Structure 1
Amino acid sequence: MKMLALTTVATLATIGFAAPAQAEVPHPGGVAAPDTALGKDWKSSSDVVVTGAGDADGYHLYIAREKDAFGWRTLATLKSSAIDVGPWGGSVCVTGSGRYAVAIFAPKKAANDPALMMAGALAAVVDTTTGRAKTVAAGLQFTYFNPACGPGDKVLLTRATGNDTQAGRRTDLLTVDAAAGKVVQTRHIEGQLSTPAPAPDGDYGIAGGRLVKVGADGKLTALAKPQGIPYAVRAARSGAIDVVSVTGAESVAERFANGRFTTTGSGPRNQLDLFGLQGGRNALVGTVNRRGAIPADLPSIASAERVDAISGAGHLVVHATVSRQTSQAAAEPLVAASPDEAGQVTIKQSTVAGRAESTATVDTDRAAPTLDVDLDLMSPVQTVTTFAEGQDPDQPKCAVPRNDPTIQPLQPSPDQVEWAVDRAVRGTLDITRPDNYLKSRTPSYSPQGMFPLEVIKDGYASVPAQVELAVLAQETNLSQASWHAVPGDTGNPLISAYYGSYDPNVIDYEKSDCGYGIGQVTTGMADGDTVYSIDEQIAISVDYAANIAASVNILIDKWNQLHDEPNGLTSSVNNNDPQYIENWFLALWAYNSGLHRYADRNTDPDANGYYGLGWLNNPANPDYKPGRDGFMRQTTADAETPSKWSYPERIMGWVETPQRKGTPAKNAYLYPAFGAKAGTFHRESDDGDWSKLTLPSQWTFCSADFGCSQAANGCPAVNSSCWWHGHADFANCDDQMCATENVKYFRDDPEPGVQRVYERDCETFDPSKVANRDSSKSINMVYTLNDTSLYNLGCSIPSGTLGGKFVLRGGRPAGQDGAPYAQYDLHQLGAGYNGHIWFTHGASGDALTKHKVVGAWTPELPLGAGQAQLYSVVAHQPSHGATAQHAAYLIQGGSRSDLTGYVTCSVPQDRTGDDKGKDHWVNLGSYLMGRGAQVLLSNEGAGSSEDVGYDAMAFIPQNAPGATCNTAY
């Protein structure tokens, strides 16, 4: 199963943001009373801090200088406008000189796709003085230890290659000269290297649980083993290597010098971290208990809260940086990110000298330098710019197409999802869908008539409802349709890697994943597959309830696979009773990364005689931060950095902490029924304690039988010998330690109505509002669907009007070479007049070569050859899905010689103030028109973050000229 979820993150309240300081400050966003908070010398300080936050506009870097009382400004924005898969995320470090910031950035969705997490991020160097940014690498790990800055201007980046098969995991280590702005060396390491650290005398990292030095040829030299499992490694200018590791309930700081480790400090687990300071010093930050001799270049900075960044001199601590769009996405996880929410960020900070806490609210400066990466130039392998050899661009691999008006799933609201899950896990999702449900042309069916609930092997229970709900939350944010659609909309189906790549300049159908809908159902969804009939494939694509019925069976199939292995070779946990949520940990592991079957151990060339659950999702894998708390236990902002946890750990986190929605935020589904003897946890900034699941430790599935050793920090070989199978006990379910499901809906409960985000506007166009209308003649209405029977959102099509045709063409010039790539960023949405629009994003420069889209409205005017009539042209603009600020409509009068040429009318497609989010009409002006008249609109020149929308168009005959361009209707 592929993960396509756009993972949500915390609201400001849940991570403990205080109200912004009310006292007057000398600089916007700066700390109040800086003489007290920072000390008397703050105006002459050179201290600086850089932090980052992502949204739909890109990954933004913000900088604050102490001489400005740490007032914040935008340093740069990093993105690739060619990628349209939701908001961006990333991480940033500052080099020892303080002159350069180095960031990795990728769509947040990359953290949920194993392949993208291993090699899907971009990297850039940013000058902290000018904000000038330069891309240096692509195809990098999206992980907690990337990028790695050192005491100088050398930075290390990692790319994970290989896999957990016989070939084994390997690591590419890239050395970046930040001052030169380029990669100067790439070393191929035969092994899994984590937490790299550039040093004056070479480069270091952790491999096999040991501190190692990386040679010029990529060979590793083991130096010494720290006390625990390392999660932070940094070099000092002196040549010493500081390491922080976790051992039991404690974090321990050690310094490696003169060939051995000495202890420098300790603290509670996960409350001690290591950061670099300018000048080649390091700092222990958090709850620090000093031990042994204290190095002069290793100061400590106390902080009771989590720390994301510190300033170069250690005068300011940044606790969290959250964009408004990200916060809004957490409050309403099914609402597509609003472009208007992009660019606002809230930064929680505290000064070290005066211990003054404050919250800065910053508006991203749109004029700040922006780096827009051209993926054609950055691919670490040869970029495919044409279709793979032998492929037909008109024959996608996936069975159910995009942009087909007959395939428009309805985006459900969370209560509908919970209803479907509660009934599906009991086999009672037997409601009847009528013929032609959602205009999909399918015969009548019931979801579990199509996909009857499978029987769990060796168990009387079914999938606990909260397990399925958590999977849907992680996979798709409870979405059946594309992430562009909000509850109540129809849209394109949500399809994983439909074109075989997240690069819109690459179409390689052989690599298409074909995971459909809310449960990302993949098996049987390719063209030619016989697992499902075409009607079943369409139902999985269109109907969230049918998709959930199929998805529940996939989970059951994973459970059964684990239990279908030969006697004595099955895999299970605890008392193996499927009614308990904790017992689904292994099935979730297999759901994401698969199970290597015993029967294939000698026939699979990668198996080498081994079998079991792969290394990728083993909690012992050092790609996940050692010593971590349960997902979202410390703070719900953990969802900002999901790559610190394995997939089954994240699912259990969504069970413990359901997704939130609404204002004020409410749970999207119920908590489970926790066991009477279950433990509790206290989340940062929450009042009271929360019940928790009883989960495995990081080392539960680490055994010498499978090449895994806690002493070696995992599985040094990282190959098929690390695959795990067997039995593990981590929760006494018989003694009320485990959780069971908690359902809200039962067999006879009807399907809830969808809770629309935007109410459907079915108001019929009134031509009488047009000045000087010739009422003796009929108006023409041109819809975005020439077959108006395909409109499926409840508005009737007005009668008594003449029609016309609407055509979309792609490529530059339109309809010629390059057109196939335009479809990559073309979308349909249940918005606008009568409930359907098309939209794409703006493009300019080289992007137009492959991604230009032109829409043409051609009315069938009741005019003979050579005849002309004055018409007012009125364009409908949807409540959402169109945000272009200067949509340039080109109006051509027709075929007569005196009507040739185009007139341009530019209008804003969305509204402001109280009218924002409302459907409306805009008059494009009065024009003399003849046969062949048309109106054109392209995405050329619009901003890459703007949606150019194509909605209905009215042509109203007039007696005399009326409104001019961009007149309110």
Structure 2
Amino acid sequence: MSVAALALVAPLASAALTDPSDPAPAPTDRITDTSRLPSGWQKSGDRIVTYDGDATGLHVLVADAADAYRWHTAATLSEPGVDTDQWIGQTCVTGSGDRAVVVYAPRQAVNDQQGFQQGAFAAVVDLADGRVTKLPELVSLAYFNPGCGDGEQAVLTRPQGDDTELLTVDTARAKLVRQQTVAGQLTSAVPFGNEIAAARGDAVVSVDAKGDTSTLAKTGGTPFRLVPDAHRGLAYQVPDGKQVQVRRVTSAGSDQLLGSGALGSLAVHGNGGRVFVTGRDAEDAVKHSALPKSWRTLDVPASAEVSTTGSLALTSVGNGTEAAGGRKTASGLAQPVGIDAVLPGSDSSVGFKVVPKAAAQGAEQSPALSDGVHTDSVHMKSTADDDPATSTTDPDRACAVTRNDPKLQSLQPSTAQAEWATDLAVQGKLDVRRRSGWNGSELPSYTPQGLFPSTPLKGGGRVPAQVMLGVLSQESNLLQASSRAAAGESSNFIQGGYYGNAGSVHTVNWAAADCGYGIAQVTSGMAKADTTYTAEQQQALTVDYAANIAAGLQILQDKWNQLYDRGLLVNGGDPKYLENWWLALWAYNSGLNLPSSTDASAPWGLGWFNNPANGLYPADRTMFLSSGYDDARTPNLWTYPERVLGWAAYSQQKTDPATGAAVRAFTVGEWPSGAPAAEPAHDTFCKPTANDCDITKPRKVAGSSQPEGPCQRDDFKCWWHQPVSWTDCTATCGTEVLKYAAGDPEPKVAAPHPAACTSTLPANALIVDDVPNTVKFRVGSTNPCAGKRNWTSRGTLTFTFGSAQQNGATVYPSKIDFHQLGAGFGGHFWLTHTRVPSYTDSVVTGTWTPDRKVVGSAEVMVHLPDHEANTPSATYRIDLGDGTVVEKTISQDTGGKNAWVSLGSYDFAGTPSVSLASATGDGTGDASIAWDALAFVPVRGK
């Protein structure tokens, strides 16, 4: 894979969030006009559960009819130390409505095949008291996971070698009660009586307690969305060409067609034995005379989320910034979520606005990450710069450029800067001069496309800007730096799998490191042992978003040329049309399997994982983002090329800092008849004579970890390697729209957290900064502190890092959640999150030591940054220089201000030191703790 797959999804936000001119009443967290509710609502047991994710976690939101559908946060699920700007996932509700089963993961997992199939966490959430029980196994992110039945059991699935593992959950006890391994892969698994029902090829099957399978119904396609009803029946859907059927099969094997409609126009939902068929034409499409009593049709959009009794249907859910670096709000809370809903049968619509709240137990580490980790105590201090026990960097890393080097911070671009660099790069004019020392680095002067020249496309033409913007959206959500950094601020580069830890804050596996860097997630040439790029190129694409975009563009151009050489053209091959980049995008994400040099008959081409015909993706999905911003919550429903083209057509959404409204992040392309008209059908890359793929013959391969589907090969190497045409691009395809012309200046951005450049302490204060005096503070090419710095650091801040023994080596998991930010005093500070002391492999300890003795009384002052420091339990250990140690505990929350805070006055008798450790008694991984400057201020008269 040439570029690390690292991203997600999103178009227009819920109307409840984005249309301030709407004359309807302002949305609240409940229905205030209760006259709109059906009679008897006060005693109704109806409940609706939904979810949305941002940087703080995946929020499970609940509302009850008896409380006028007042929303509250049942739980917020995340994992400590996982560096992501968005949590994604899915839920199902048990038959009682009392519990939800949740699958959740960082958004990065969606683009990687292993992460997709085995990289999601699972938990049971008690919807009454918010109790969270995380389950000890990692599972799949496939759209059908988890699956709830009509009782209190649920099924989770994941590929396991050549088999599928079915994990049955007793939600009342919040534990796994059965783990079964079944040959091949089953999809859409749900509890069904005492067995499990699932789709397998062209059949609905049941799996008994021994793992034996039997066929309930043969179908004309791969069934999906299985829902048990209250009468020993099972609702399901099955594609039929461009139509979709709604069917019901009983445990006795009776199979009945209940209705049909256009693919995507109908859907089945259910809870507690109730089945709801949704769709604007559902009442006409389904035979009501044949419906069991537990079935109902609802005249709501097919994709709507339905409450437990069908009294409320959600038509849109989102915070407006999914997949766009959903940072915490200024108040430290999660992003507000807008919810649009309808009351079925009344033509009454309502809008809600909910501010999710974090639940501490939802942030506790999953036991799925705990096995096999043996920790040591914190290492003693060493003076060696290359000792990983004490160096903030990673001397033992596998990737080329280290994290946490103050001289190599990445500047976070604004969306305008990202679009400007992209527009100029595709025109071959990204020649802005970066002067020596740009962004505080030690780089010599360069230009982005001087280091990474544009590669001419074979056949002529160039990359459309929106294709590249779609790639950047998908790879990194338009972020060059960590999501902790706002536009105009610097921090570590955003990275995919730098530690090879698969989401665990306790695991470092350098052998599995995925060295994806920056906004384009450039991986090729970025391993420590790789010599593709010079050290200067590697550092430039790390610190500079424009250089990173230039490097990413080169990779995409190379993919086009690689395919062009083999005749793999789309719709005639004119590169000005966005859809014609479909195969190049496929290759950009998962690579091209090259022809064998010895066996001309061996399969070759683009892999099966990103083929739209793959059964991992729902058969009735529409174009990504075409039906609304809700698609941003569930990117796992689409292949990589589908997501990129969706971004190109609808754009990411970002929050306008001036208005707080969600706005398009960049200019979208132009389509004569709308972007969906140019989308290929899901079976476009599935042809019996081209790649042994036949959409009309769903096939089960015994012993395979792949889902049953149209691939007719036992090894699933139905690799696409032919030119393809599905539309007349002159009539339907998208073309680029440039916002910036060659020569346009780089847009400016003001950092929201300016550095505290000047000391306000007395002139005789002995200041010890968190970095050496040689570290330069720059924001791009400017020095905001020029002429303002009236102090010099007189000492050092050193660290010790918690370690663990893994795979026969000493590694330092404590660095996974260790970060730097270009703000605070002097323009730099360090941070991590607090953990309980028993997590010794996660503990970071920083010690400030002045370069001289302090004799007599002095006040100890610590500088706290205006953000990313909020622990109430920062305990400083003050060594008075004679062996006497005193402790002082303070809150690091300054209310959003850069501030000097006193730790008290003490009588010193030698060279003092002050230490601060991230281990706290209340540490749960969600409170941040920071190390900035510290000072000793002599007290007069003593």
TM-score, structure 1 as length reference: 0.85
Structure 1 range deviating more: 936-945 or 30-39: 30-39
How far apart in 1 are the matches of 2:125 and 2:662? 37
Q: Which residue of 1 aligns with 2:733?
A: 738
Alpha carbons 1:93, 1:101 under 8 Å: kept = yes
AA aligned opposite 1:926: S
Q: Aligned residue for 1:857?
A: 848
Q: 1:920 aligns with which of 893, 899, 919?
A: 899
Cα gap change, 1:382 to 1:219, in 2 (>3 Å): farther
Alignment correspondent of 2:746 = 751
Alignment of 1:538-577 (within 5 A): 538-565=539-566, 570-577=567-574
Question: Which residue number in structure 2 is paired with residue 233 of structure 1?
Answer: 226
Question: In structure 2, how many angstroms separate the alpha carbons of the residues matched to 1:384 and 1:454?
Answer: 48
CA contact (8 A) 2:76 2:357 kept: no
Residue in structure 2 matched with residue 724 of structure 1 by the alignment: 720
Identify the residue that residue 291 of structure 2 maps to in structure 1.
295
Q: What SS class does the counterpart of residue 482 from structure 1 fall into?
A: coil
1:565-964 alignment, distance < 5 Å: 565=566, 570-599=567-596, 602=599, 609-661=602-654, 662=656, 663=659, 664-674=661-671, 678-680=672-674, 694-705=678-689, 706-711=691-696, 712=698, 713-715=709-711, 717=713, 719-733=715-729, 735-753=730-748, 755-758=749-752, 760-768=754-762, 778-793=764-779, 794=783, 795-796=785-786, 798-799=789-790, 801=792, 803-811=794-802, 820-847=812-839, 849-861=840-852, 863=854, 868-895=855-882, 900-911=884-895, 916=896, 918-941=897-920, 942-960=923-941
Task: Report Cα offsets for 1:334-367 as digits up to 9, x if no partner.
Answer: 867767132754443333465543334445465x
The equivalent residue for 1:277 is: 271
CA distance in 1, matches of 2:644, 2:525: 24
Within the alignment, does 1:495 sit opposite 2:476 as a pair? Answer: no
Q: Give yes or no for contact 2:117–2:140 (8 Å, CA) kept in 1.
A: yes
Contact preservation (8 Å) 2:833, 2:927: yes
CA distance in 1: counterparts of 2:126 and 2:755, whole angstroms: 49
Q: Is the 8 A contact 1:497 1:514 kept in 2?
A: yes
CA distance in 2: counterparts of 1:196 and 1:541, whole angstroms: 43
Label 1:161 to 1:383 Cα distance change in 2 as closer, same or farther (>3 A).
farther
Question: What corresponds to 1:304 in structure 2?
Answer: 300
- The total of aligned residue pairs comes to 893
How far off is 1:8 after superposition? 5.5
**Counterpart secondary structure, 1:825:** coil
Cα distance per residue 1:396-445 (max 9 Å; x no partner): 11011111122112111222222222222232223333333333323333
1:474 aligns to 2:474 (yes or no): yes
Task: Report the CA distance between 1:543 and its aligned residue.
Answer: 1.8
| Distance change in 2, residues 1:380/1:216 (3 Å) | farther
Query: Structure 1 residues 699 and 110 mapped into 2: Cα distance closer, same or farther (>3 Å)?
Result: same
Q: Is the 8 A contact 1:149 1:155 kept in 2?
A: yes
Q: Is the 8 A contact 1:20 1:360 kept in 2?
A: no
Query: Please, what is the CA RMSD of the aligned residues?
Result: 3.2
CA distance in 2, matches of 1:819, 1:893: 33
Query: 1:630 Cα deviation (Å)?
Result: 0.6
Describe the SS at the equivalent of 1:185: strand
| Mean Cα deviation higher: 492-501 or 663-672 | 663-672
Cross-structure match for 2:179: 186
Give the direction of change, closer, same or farther, for the CA distance of 1:434–1:336 in structure 2 (3 Å limit): farther
Give how far 1:6 is off. Answer: 5.5
CA deviation map 1:506-529 (0-9, x unaligned): 111000011111111111111121
Whole-Å separation in 2 of the counterparts to 1:877 and 1:369: 24
The Cα shift of 1:923 comes to 3.2
SS of aligned partner of 1:710: coil
> Quick check: 1:400–1:538 contact (8 Å CA) kept in 2?
yes
Of 298, 309, 312, which residue of structure 2 is paired with 1:313?
A: 309
Partner in structure 1 of residue 159 of structure 2:
160
Task: Tell me whether 632-641 or 786-795 shows the greater mean CA deviation.
Answer: 786-795
Corresponding residue of 1:967: none
Aligned partners of 1:160, 1:17: CA distance in 2, in Å?
43
Partner of 2:7: 5
Distance change in 2, residues 1:217/1:562 (3 Å)? farther
Partner of 1:49: 48
Question: Could you tell me which residue of structure 1 aligns to residue 121 of structure 2?
Answer: 122
Q: CA deviation at 1:581?
A: 1.2
> Separation in 1 of the partners of 2:213 and 2:626?
36
Post-superposition Cα deviations, 1:432-485, rounded to whole Å, max 9, x if no partner, equal 33333333323333222222222222x111211111111011101112222222
Query: Aligned letter for 1:908?
Result: Q
- Over residues 874-924 of structure 1, what are the superposed CA-to-partner deviations in whole Å (9 max), with x where a residue is unaligned? 3222232323234333333322x7xx221404133331xxxx3x4333333
Q: Does 1:378 align with 2:368?
A: yes
- Assess, with a 3 A threshold, how the Cα gap between structure 1 residues 251 and 803 changes in structure 2: closer, same or farther: same
Contact map agreement 1:122 1:138 (CA 8 A) in 2: yes
Shift of 1:239: 2.3
C-alpha separation between the residues in 1 aligned to 2:404 and 2:5? 22
Structure 1 residues 9, 920: closer, same or farther in 2, change over 3 A?
farther
The change in CA–CA distance for 1:432 and 1:239 in structure 2 (over 3 A counts) is same
Could you tell me how far 1:831 is from its partner in structure 2? 0.9
Q: Report the CA distance shift for 1:627/1:68 in structure 2 as closer, same or farther (over 3 A).
A: same
Distance in 2 (alpha carbons) for counterparts of 1:744 and 1:3: 27
- Partner Cα distance (1:437, 1:35) in 2: 62
Q: Aligned in 2, Cα 1:369/1:35: closer, same or farther, shift over 3 Å? A: farther
Native 8 Å contact 1:874 1:923 kept in 2: yes
* 8 Å Cα contact 2:758-2:790 kept in structure 1: no
Q: Secondary structure at the match of 2:137?
A: strand
Q: Which runs of 5+ in 1 are unaligned?
A: 163-168, 681-690, 769-774, 962-969
Amino acid at match of 2:612: P
What are the equivalent positions in structure 2 for 1:16-165 lying under 5 Å apart?
29-34=29-34, 37-39=37-39, 41-161=40-160
CA distance in 2, matches of 1:717, 1:189: 20
Contact in 2 for aligned 1:812/1:819 (Cα 8 Å): yes
Structure 2 Cα separation of the partners of residues 80 and 719 of structure 1:
35
- Partner AA of 1:821 in structure 2: P
Question: What's the CA shift for 1:181?
Answer: 2.6
C-alpha distance after superposition, 1:587-623 (max 9, x if no partner): 10111111111136859xxxx9211111100011121
Closer/same/farther in 2, CA of residues 634 and 23 from structure 1, 3 Å limit: closer
Residue 582 of structure 1, CA deviation: 0.9
CA distance in 2, matches of 1:133, 1:336: 22
Kept in 1: contact 2:849–2:912 (CA 8 A): yes
How far, CA to CA, are the matches of 1:380 and 1:199 in structure 2?
Answer: 32
Structure 2 SS opposite 1:745: coil
For residue 706 of structure 2, what is the aligned residue in structure 1? none
Cα separation, 2, equivalents of 1:561 and 1:742: 26
Contact 2:375 2:841 (8 Å CA) reproduced: no
Q: 1:960 to 1:193 in 2, by over 3 A?
A: farther
Asked if the contact 2:475–2:520 (Cα under 8 Å) also holds between the matched residues in 1, the reply is: yes
In structure 2, the residue corresponding to 1:722 is in which secondary structure?
coil
Counterparts of 2:842 and 2:329, CA distance in 1: 22
> TM-score when scaled to structure 2?
0.88
Following superposition, the deviation at residue 697 of structure 1 comes to 0.9
Gaps of 5+ in 2: 378-386, 389-393, 699-708
Q: Residue 487 and residue 82 in structure 1: after superposition, are their counterparts in 2 closer, same or farther (change >3 A)?
A: closer
